[in-house]
Amino acid sequence: MTTLAGKKTLITGAASGIGRATAMAAAAEGAELFLTDIQDEALQAAAGEIRARGGRVSVARAADVSDYDAVRELADAIHAEHGSLDVVMNVAGISRWGTVDKLTHDDWRRLVDINLMGPIHVIETFIPPMIAAGRGGHLVNVSSAAGLFGLPWHAAYSATKFGLRGVSEVLRFDLRQHGIKVSLVLPGAVDTPLVGTVQIAGVNREDPRVQKLVGRFSRHAATPDEAAAAILRGVRRDRYWVYTSRDIQLGHFFTRKFEWPYTLVMRFISSRATALQRKL
């Protein structure tokens, strides 16, 4: 089992949502935290709250994970003063949905830059020093249910989340020889600030029907604290597949064991989504 007590732990996206909740939970378990997010003011507020609770935050520094030079600068600064880390958690990400005829090139590019290249930047700057240190460690990549299922309107988002899943699947085996474990987190519905801000290309979010769907999503969503607890539980138990809700775990089992029924179900959901879009 992997314990976070005393472990130097990097968490991206730590200013809000799952990242912030994970930082709070990791601090409560005794981790030494290295936090980053693009939102500096919110990041410093989160770090201040953790310190006020008795947690240890050695670094809280804003950085845009989509900017390789910024991530490299952050990594160099941390390694120069604190040495290699023990746990690296890629949590930062954004969401944008839409059908391929509505999504713009900038939509695709921004999602890829943040959700896929962001974690890759972190991996390529923080994992090699971890390997060189020879102490083992743990890499956590937060993908999504959209990295498992062909959800309607999620082509661009799923491209990044399936991509991160693929990276994790390879590193799961490549890093094993170095004693570095990998966990792939697959959140379903989680009630984070993204719920209120996610953009749907070609759809008016203020439409009452859309608001109704958002409200239904929030009522059935896990909280960020519940998602964070699932992540830390997965790390402690050295699990590769980490689910934040039972429905995603069962759905994943279903898709692996019953591929044809899964195809039928997803076709039905997609057709219903298309019908809904025509009304909006």
| Positive/negative CA dihedral, 245, 119, 237, 18 | negative
- Annotated active-site residue 262? The verdict is no
Sequence-ordered list of residues with C-beta below 8 angstroms from that of 136, at least 6 positions apart, any chain: 178, 179, 180, 181
With 0-12 CB in 10 A as exposed, 13-18 as middle and 19+ as buried, what is 43? buried
With 0-12 CB in 10 A as exposed, 13-18 as middle and 19+ as buried, what is 84? buried
Beta strand segments in 37-136, E: 56-60, 87-90, 96-97
| Positive/negative CA dihedral, 142, 199, 159, 243 | positive
CA 98 remoteness from chain centre: 20
Query: CA-to-CA distance for 242 and 232, rounded, in angstroms?
Result: 9
* DSSP of 231-247: HHHHHHTT-SEEESSHH
Residue from 157, 240, 243, 262 carrying the catalytic annotation: 157
Query: CA-to-CA distance for 91 and 46, rounded, in angstroms?
Result: 15
- CB-CB contact of 78 with 34 (8 Å): yes
C-alpha closest to that of 37 among 64, 18, 56: 64
Token readout for 217 is: 């999503």
Give the residue numbers annotated as catalytic, written as ranges.
157
